[in-house]
Amino acid sequence: MRFSVTAALAALAVVTANPAIAADYRGHTIRLNDSPQAAQCAAMVRKGIDLLDTLSPRLRALGHEVKDLRCEPTPPNATNTRVQDSVVGVYTVDGPNDPGGRIIFRRNPDASAANLVALSLVGNGVYARRQREYNEGKRHPSSSPAARAHMDWLEKVVTRSDRNLVLRAECENMDAIYEALKALDPDPRQLSALNRVMRERNCPL
């Protein structure tokens, strides 16, 4: 099962294998495949993690939700690459009961920037937080009506069983990205591109 902040990060980008090596960095594990670009990708991811320090405590916490980060850049001469390979950071889980999930970076490092990595960490952190809350709710059910209603909402969103709810939930991801983007001294065109995506999704601005 794969989730991504595809629409938001793809809009920003317009204007701007099995992991073989693992290294810990500021609470994250960065795993590399055997691509020649993997080490450069890891350096870019480390810079993205450092940029989280410039964000608000809420956004910083979201950016640190996912601990397992994978650098698996696509070779420059690869053919038949999938659309997701052009997205900066794809949040991937093995199913609704996956305890953590991971973010996979497939874009070539020279086509990405550290600020886009930071935005991916924040936006995908929303997915990871929902996943964590869902797993905790299953382990420790609550009799509170409010908690049960929230758990019902989480289940529909995490399992993607209610498309309308999933689409509305995407607004929370994009709102977090938008707030983070404003803090990273963006090109005005980046804000405009993301604003357009949010309007198209009928997200509150």
β-bridge partners, 22: 31
- Which position has the token pair 């990871």? 128
pTM higher than 0.95 for the full model?
A: no
Does residue 8 contact residue 172 with C-beta atoms inside 8 Å?
no
**pLDDT of 145 over the 90 cut:** yes
- Give CA–CA dist 70/194, Å, rounded: 25
Size of the chain, expressed as the number of residues it contains? 205
pLDDT of residue 10: 52
pLDDT of residue 23: 84
52-54-58 Cα angle (round to 5): 65
| 3-state secondary structure at position 71 | strand
**What is the mean pLDDT of the segment spanning 185-200?**
88
pLDDT of residue 113: 87
Query: What would the pLDDT profile of 33-87 be if each residue is shown by its tens digit?
Result: 888 888 999 999 999 999 999 999 999 999 999 999 999 987 655 554 554 445 6
113-150 as b/e: b if 16+ CB within 10 A: bbbbbbbbbbbbbbbbbbbeebbebeeeeeeeeeeeee
Nearest alpha-carbon partner for 4 in 105, 178, 104, 124: 124
- Give CA–CA dist 99/137, Å, rounded: 12
